[in-house]
Amino acid sequence: MKYQIKYKEAEQIDIAISDEGILLDQQPVNADIAQLNQHHYHIIKDGRSYDVEILDFDAVSKDIKIAVNGQIFDLKPKDELDILLQQLGMGKVKQDKMDIVKAPMPGLVLKILVEPGQHIQKGDSLIVLEAMKMENIIKATGAGIVKSIPVNLKDAVDKNQILIEME
């Protein structure tokens, strides 16, 4: 599997993961990686120790926020499909208006951050879902006005279930 991860405005790294190991920018990586819990890892590479914690993961936008030895990074990973779409000139498709917001995964509604009649913009946080003991913030992919919210706090939702209807 290949990924591109943008971690600063103008910096990115290519990662390839296979049975043979991990390549960073086509260079093999020799590292000891220990998973301490679901979101916390300890990595030793080239005699240096790294404490890595996943702080936030948005499954819809694929944005990841991590802390490495206390320094916070916002990562914007692209998988093979995202890279192919970008190469085909389809990576900048823009969705200006939303009609509905669906659950990207099964989960439990922890927080509803909007209300009917509220104007939202692309990137606004809408709902927090808990899935696999992780809190996932569902964000707006476009602008709109909240028409209705057919789910309630503590509702269990299925993948692709409608969470918010827009005008």
Q: Is residue 154 part of a domain?
A: yes
The whole-number pLDDT of residue 44 equals 92
Q: Is residue 74 located within the same domain as residue 115?
A: no
CATH number at residue 58: 2.40.128
Q: What is the CATH number of the domain that holds 141?
A: 2.40.50.100
Q: What is the pLDDT of residues 14-68, one digit of tens each?
A: 888 777 778 888 888 888 889 999 899 999 988 899 999 999 888 777 788 899 9
- C-alpha 122/C-alpha 95 separation (Å) is 9
Contact 71, 63 (CB under 8 A): no
Higher-pLDDT residue of 154 and 60 is 154
Question: Is the per-residue pLDDT at 6 higher than 90?
Answer: no
User: CA-to-CA distance for 27 and 30, rounded, in angstroms?
Assistant: 10
Q: Residue 92 — pLDDT band, cuts 50, 70, 90?
A: low
Condensed to tens digits (0 to 9), the pLDDT of residues 100-135 reads: 999 999 999 999 999 999 999 888 999 999 988 899
How many residues appear in the chain? 167
- Tell me which residue range forms the domain holding 153: 100-166
Q: Are residues 14 and 82 in the same domain?
A: yes
pLDDT band at 163 (very low <50, low <70, confident <90, very high): very high
Q: Which of 62, 86, 110 is the last residue of a domain?
A: 86
Same domain, 79 and 24: yes
Determine, yes or no, domain membership for 93: no
List, in sequence order, every residue forming a beta bridge with 134; answer none if it has no partner.
Answer: 131
